[in-house]
Amino acid sequence: MRVIKGDTVEVKVGNQAAAERPSKVRGTVLRVMPGENKVVVEGVNRHYKHVRRSQRYPQGGRVQREMPINLSNVMPVCPKCDRGVRVGYRVSENGAKHRVCRTCGTELHQIRKPTSGR
């Protein structure tokens, strides 16, 4: 997958996209669901559930939580470019695999550790 838990992503399409808001909509990936092709992003696609008073919620009220959005609607943010970018992969000489920015070539994250020489 091109997005992993903990990545900072920018929402490009949908109700939560930057066209609706003046600033760029960015958030941290809380959960990735590869089987469903969805991600949960902090502060994006919030839904409210009204709950009654109970032992768990003594005051009752509204509970907010982030709901999943489609993976194709988000792009990882490159720290050097400071915008959402496409992601490529590069394998170094020692066998380590890295995610890299397609625009500037900056390494975003190491996916596979270097292999030991035999």
CA–CA separation, 79 vs 23, rounded Å? Answer: 17
Q: What digits encode the pLDDT tens for the residues 10-69?
A: 998 877 665 555 567 899 999 999 999 999 999 888 999 999 999 988 998 998 999 999
Q: Domain residue spans in the chain?
A: 8-112
Give burial (CB, 10 Å; 0-12/13-18/19+) of 16. buried
Report whether 71 contacts 41 (CB < 8 A).
no
Q: What digits encode the pLDDT tens for the residues 71-90?
A: 999 999 998 988 889 999 99
- CATH number of the structural domain 8-112: 2.30.30.30
b/e code 55-88 from CB counts within 10 Å (16+ = b) = eeeeeeeeeeebebbebebbbbbbeeeeebbebe
Q: What digits encode the pLDDT tens for the residues 89-116?
A: 999 888 888 899 988 888 887 787 887 7
